[in-house]
């Protein structure tokens, strides 16, 4: 990797699209890169490393707010690892809550699908359940 990469090269090196790199710059997640006389952005190895960090954090489902905190902690070599762990554990708890919600939805849909005959008759417990929820919401 050379000293200065264009945005396309930075995107290829980091796995972050050029559009997202511009977005991260616009929201201040990464520092604006140096610009050449032609106004092109040039990314140094430090920025490429940060983009890779962001890419991995996004792959793990961290929010932009969490990534901002994690980047700040990563840049601070004197940070306590307990702060990093707290962010990770909070995210893990949120993920586990989502998983539990998805499992509950899956169980409910499995039950409704099992109750539906799936034949030529017009009656359908799936539609009845959806309509019942709609009536409750409208009533209340």
Q: What are phi and psi of 117, to 5 degrees?
A: -70, -30
34: enclosing H helix or E strand: strand 34-35
Please say whether the structural domain 7-78 has been given the CATH code 1.10.1660.10.
yes
Contact (CB, 8 A) for 10 and 51:
yes
- What are the beta bridge partners of residue 55? none
Which pLDDT score is estimated for 52? 97
Q: What confidence category does residue 35 fall into, taking pLDDT thresholds of 50, 70 and 90?
A: confident
pLDDT in tens, 107-129: 999 999 999 998 998 999 999 99
pTM attached to this predicted model: 0.80
Predicted local confidence at residue 2, as pLDDT: 52
* Residues 64 and 27: beta-carbon distance below 8 Å: yes
pLDDT at 1 (0 to 100): 46
* pLDDT (tens digit per residue) in 65-78: 999 999 999 999 99
Domain coordinates of the chain in residue numbers?
7-78, 85-139
* Residues written for the chain: 140
Q: Is 80 helix (H, G, I), strand (E, B) or coil?
A: coil
Q: How far apart are alpha carbons 72 and 124 in whole angstroms?
A: 54
């Amino acid at each position: 990797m050379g000293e200065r990469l264009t945005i396309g090269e930075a995107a290829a090196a980091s796995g972050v699209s050029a559009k997202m790199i511009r977005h991260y710059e616009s929201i201040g997640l990464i520092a604006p890169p140096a610009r050449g006389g032609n106004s092109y952005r040039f990314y140094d190895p430090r920025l490429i490393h940060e983009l890779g960090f962001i890419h991995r954090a996004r792959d793990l489902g961290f929010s932009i707010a969490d990534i901002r905190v994690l980047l700040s902690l990563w840049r601070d070599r004197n940070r306590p690892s307990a702060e990093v762990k707290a962010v990770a554990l909070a995210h893990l708890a949120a993920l586990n809550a989502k998983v539990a919600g998805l499992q509950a939805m899956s169980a409910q849909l499995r039950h409704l699908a099992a109750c539906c005959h799936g034949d030529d008759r017009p009656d359908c417990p799936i539609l009845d359940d959806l309509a019942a929820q709609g009536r409750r919401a409208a009533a209340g």
